[in-house]
Amino acid sequence: MSPAASIPRLTWQSLVDLAATYPPEISSRQSAINFVTALAVVKHYMGIEWIEKHTNPFINRPGYFRLNIIDGSEELAAIGGQKIVDLGELLLNLQHIEGFDSCIRRLRHGDLEPTLAELSLAGMIYVNDWPFRFVEPTGVKRSDYDYEITLRDGLEVCADAKCKIESTALSESTILNALRRLAGSCPKIDPESC
């Protein structure tokens, strides 16, 4: 697939049709319906190889989406399953937002944490009904931010999602430094005002 090629979008009807085929052991439990449907959405956008690589409980290495069912902990299995449900919901809800395909390409190439942070924040923007678009990463200072959001008064602002790797300590200075770098990357903010 070329970088410019658009990934086919899912329809609600295709998911309703899929759910109609679920066997009773799935269709009788809402949590199972949610998980299997989300997994189908993730498979559609990410592919079966991506799912195997990132969720397989039999691979002995940590991973954000790893389905931890080996040790028998229902809580750990539920957490892993909920992460898949959350990703499926984000992909389904955001699939029609301009620039979405760029997020999919980055997830496919293993850029998980920053792209998940970007999708999660986009989900919050989406549910608040603010018009926005994803901005393709450029690597060019003052042009490299994640979204352009149109506020209710028509003002267009740029925004950036940031994440900290779970193993990294969070401190006041790391947050301030990230905000200063962001202010320097957005043409609509004067970095001297930070």
- The DSSP code for 160 is -
pLDDT of 28 strictly over 70: yes
* Poorest-pLDDT segment among 43-52, 75-84, 96-105: 75-84
What pTM was computed for the model? Answer: 0.79
**Average pLDDT of span 27-49:** 94
Percent of the chain residues topping a pLDDT of 90: 52
| Nearest of 92, 119, 81 to residue 14 by alpha carbon | 92
Mean pLDDT over each residue of the chain, to the nearest integer:
84
**Average pLDDT of span 25-29:** 94
**Which pLDDT does position 168 carry in this prediction?**
58
Could you tell me where the beta strands, DSSP code E, fall in the chain? 132-134, 147-150, 156-159
Could you tell me where the beta strands, DSSP code E, fall in 68-114? none
pLDDT of 194 strictly over 50: no
pLDDT in tens, 102-141: 999 999 998 888 899 999 999 999 999 999 999 988 878 7
**Which pLDDT does position 77 carry in this prediction?**
63
**Which pLDDT does position 81 carry in this prediction?**
83
**CA distance linking residue 52 with residue 67, whole number of Å:** 10
pLDDT in tens, 170-193: 677 767 776 676 666 555 555 555
More confident of the two residues 143 and 42: 42
Q: Give residue for tokens 């790797």.
A: 165
Sequence-distant (6+) residues with CB within 8 A of 23 are none
Contacts 24+ apart (CB under 8 A), 139-147: 141/184, 141/185, 142/184, 142/185, 142/186, 142/187, 143/185, 143/187, 144/185, 145/182, 145/185, 145/186, 146/118, 146/121, 146/122, 147/118, 147/121, 147/122
**Which pLDDT does position 76 carry in this prediction?**
59
* Burial group, residue 131, by CB count within 10 angstroms (0-12, 13-18, 19+): middle
